[in-house]
Each structure stands twice: as structure tokens, then as C-alpha cells.
């Protein structure tokens, strides 16, 4: 796993880093950091019978894939609410969101 993570970081740094805007660099860094934390939590609680072990157990309904999908839907809904509440956007477009 460390080899894959190192290959990912080297590939990003050598191939894409110079083409990214500063905001995209920060976002990529934040997403990579979240993924690393996610992997560490998964490795620590793998097969554990504690509360956090439920979230990473592959055959339970609380699997990390389901949690990630739920987080994605939550993020999309929050973006829709933020767009819908902005007063600078036309009324019909706000109503759509």
C-alpha cells in the first residue's frame, strides 16, 4: 500500500502539479489527506468489534463504500442549498436548485 501511495504522489507531482491552479492544488492535497486518513482508520479497525469496526467491515451495511456514497450525496445537497440561497442568481435558477 505504501508503494501505491508513493507512486500516486510521484505521478501527481511530476505529471500534473505544474498544470494545476493553486485552488486545485489545495483541493487535491485535501482529498489526498482525507483518503490517507480513511485508509489509516480502515487498517486500524479492520475486523475489529468496536463501533468504528462496523464502518469498515466489508459485509455490513455500514461499509465504507456506503458511507462514502452517503457523504457524496450530502455534499451535493449542501452545494444545491448554497447555490439556491445565493441572492446574486436569478430567481428561476434559484428555484431550480
Cell of 46: 479492520
pLDDT at 30: 85
Domain boundaries, the chain: 21-96
pLDDT digits (tens, 9 = 90+) for 5-18: 778 778 877 777 77
Determine the Cα angle at 33 with ends 62 and 76, to 5°. Answer: 55
pLDDT digits (tens, 9 = 90+) for 38-79: 777 777 776 566 666 666 665 666 666 777 777 888 888 888
Amino acid at each position: 500500500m505504501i508503494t501505491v501511495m508513493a507512486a500516486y504522489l510521484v505521478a501527481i507531482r511530476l505529471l500534473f502539479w505544474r498544470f494545476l491552479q493553486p485552488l486545485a492544488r489545495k483541493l487535491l492535497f485535501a482529498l489526498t489527506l482525507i483518503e490517507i486518513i480513511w485508509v489509516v482508520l480502515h487498517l486500524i479497525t479492520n475486523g475489529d468489534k468496536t463501533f468504528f469496526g462496523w464502518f469498515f467491515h466489508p459485509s455490513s451495511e455500514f461499509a465504507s463504500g456506503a458511507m462514502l456514497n452517503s457523504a457524496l450525496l450530502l455534499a451535493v445537497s449542501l452545494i444545491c442549498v448554497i447555490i439556491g440561497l445565493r441572492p446574486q442568481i436569478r430567481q428561476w435558477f434559484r428555484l431550480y436548485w
